Amino acid sequence: MPPVLIFLAFLLLLGAGTDGLGEIIGGHEVKPHSRPYMAHVKFVKFNGNRSSCGGFLVRDYFVLTAAHCNGSSMTVTLGVHNIKAKEETQQIIPVEKAIPHPAFNSAAHTSDIMILKLKSKAKRTKAVRPIKLPRNNARLKPGEVCSVAGWGKTSINATERSAILLEAQLIIQDDQKCKKSFHRYSKTTQICAGDPKKIQAPYKGDSGGPLVCNNKAYGVLAYGKNRTISSGVFTKVVYFLPWISRNMKLL
Ligand SMILES: *[C@@H]1O[C@H](CO)[C@@H](O)[C@H](O)[C@H]1NC(C)=O
Ligand SMILES: *[C@@H]1O[C@H](CO)[C@@H](O)[C@H](O)[C@H]1NC(C)=O
Ligand SMILES: *[C@@H]1O[C@H](CO)[C@@H](O)[C@H](O)[C@H]1NC(C)=O
């Protein structure tokens, strides 16, 4: 079946199960706690503004997110569905140490990945569980269907971010085509996913969230086109595995 048809089939399947809940820009509300690895990362930026990103739990003490989500007074909330509600499932854990990748370059969006060591261990529950990382030889092919989730903006013009966790399906794009949209795209260190023909895409505020394929976290959302994007660029987890395991063991 051509990728587009698979994608449409997916949309139909998803559409059948959403009960009209928050059907937004092709994305839709996540079944509460069906992505127990999702982390809501809060921080204070250099200019003193508060901001937040997505992230994902990979070990009891470690969350991965994007390096551009670095800041001070960082905290991670696990087990969240609605960030504005006080949910019993939530675990708010301060960050003991943030380790942005040393080669991170915010202008070029390179090596946009960061490890967060938590001050206390995440307690595993139905709503909180780490996600697996791919093996070091794992590869994705153009046309494969993956997904992204986040509490980002729900539309191009939205001023508010979504309080509830949203998810969208994304298709792995051809590296050559990606290079045309994103001039600095590197197929060695990045993955490009989205669908230029559809508006389903992550939005600003979804940064740091995982690109999930076959129940494993293959990417960290780094940036999108035009800040609104019909496709997004993800930091390639497989490329950074040696750095990730080295830093998680050292601490
Ligand atoms: C963030 O900081 C800038 C500069 O300090 C300020 O102009 C802007 O209004 C702030 N944005 C928000 C959303 O608070
Ligand atoms: C990360 O943020 C902290 C706190 O604001 C800052 O001290 C540190 O220099 C930042 N690291 C990088 C690589 O930007
Ligand atoms: C960004 O979006 C606007 C409106 O859709 C479009 O006119 C502009 O060309 C886009 N810019 C880039 C760099 O794609």
Q: Does one domain contain both 140 and 167?
A: yes
**Which of the listed residues 45, 47, 153 should we mutate to test ligand 1's pocket, taking the one with most ligand atoms within 8 A of CB?**
47
Q: Does one domain contain both 21 and 72?
A: no
pLDDT above 70 coverage of the chain, percent = 77
Q: Does one domain contain both 124 and 136?
A: no
Grade residue 37 by pLDDT with cuts at 50, 70 and 90.
Answer: very high
Q: Does one domain contain both 138 and 230?
A: yes
Q: Does one domain contain both 144 and 24?
A: yes
Distances (CA, A) of 25 to 128, 157, 158, 166, 167: 27, 11, 11, 10, 10
Q: What's the whole-number mean pLDDT along residues 106-113?
A: 90
Helix (H) or strand (E) holding 176: helix 175-181
The count of structural domains within the chain is: 2
C-alpha 140 – ligand 3 centre gap (Å): 28
The boundaries of the domain holding residue 76 are: 38-130+240-250
Residues with a catalytic annotation lie at 68, 112, 207
Q: Are 169 and 11 in contact (CB under 8 A)?
A: yes
Q: Does one domain contain both 136 and 224?
A: yes
What confidence tens digit (pLDDT) does each residue in 183-232 have? 888 999 999 988 655 555 555 557 899 999 999 999 999 876 544 445 68
Q: Does one domain contain both 160 and 232?
A: yes
Q: What's the whole-number mean pLDDT along residues 246-251?
A: 81
Q: Take atom 5 of ligand 3 and give the residue whose Cα is closest.
A: 226
Q: What's the angle, vertex CA 191, arms to CA 187 and CA 192, rounded to 5? A: 105
Q: What's the whole-number mean pLDDT along residues 105-114?
A: 92
Q: Take atom 12 of ligand 3 and give the residue whose Cα is closest.
A: 226
pLDDT at 56: 98
Q: Does one domain contain both 218 and 151?
A: yes
